[in-house]
Amino acid sequence: MSNITTAETPTADLTTAMDSLLHLETMLEQSGYDDGLRDGLALGLEEGRDLGQRIAIKTAREVGYYLGVCQELLESLASQPEAVGVVVHSRAAKVLESTKTLCELFPHTNDHAADIVPLLEKIRGKFTLATVLLKMPQLKFNLETNVPTETNLPTSGTQEVNGTQVSHDDANSQPTPKPDFSF
């Protein structure tokens, strides 16, 4: 009987060793998967945060542009004589007021419950309508052209941009388009 036991023991050890080697491959695969998942989640969180910040900055610039242009145009419309294009001025002023209100309602904090995409689309639509009513398509928002840099800001004076006179009070102010309300 002791021969049978000793004969079976090396075979059992060999089987156990082979099972360990086969299981080792599975263990290494699982370990690599776990490490990759952990590192991927950390990297994805970092990249997601970075992307979210960049999108938030672009969106804030766009909404700020619409708000600023609406305020300037409303002031310009208020200073125009009533006899020139009263109907157009009245309708444009209402659309600009509506756009300004929507811009002011835009969330200033990271509110997960707020659905900003439809609100942003509504702001864009109303602003486009206002520029069409005022026949000022050059006011359309473009991230690359509507963001002042030190190289594209004139120091002072006026210049013509797309047929519109643009004045600059000083080097630190953004260009303010002077609309032509003669219809």
The number of domains in the chain is 1
Instruction: Answer whether residue 43 is part of any domain.
Output: yes
Domain of 51, in residue numbers = 33-143
Name the residue with higher pLDDT: 12 or 53. Answer: 53
The answer to whether residues 76 and 179 touch, using CB atoms and an 8 Å cutoff, is yes
pLDDT tens string 93-146 = 899 999 999 999 999 888 888 888 999 999 999 999 999 988 888 888 887 766
Q: What is the pTM of this model?
A: 0.59
Confirm whether 13 is domain-assigned: no
Please give the Cα distance from 103 to 25 (Å, whole number). Answer: 59
Find all residues with CB under 8 Å of 159, minimum gap 6, and list them.
165, 166, 168
Does residue 77 lie in a domain region? yes
**pLDDT, mean over the chain:** 76
Whether 96 maps to a domain, the answer reads yes
In a domain, 10, yes or no: no
Q: Does 149 score more than 60 pLDDT?
A: no
In a domain, 178, yes or no: no
Q: Is 106 inside any structural domain?
A: yes
Residue 78 covered by a domain: yes
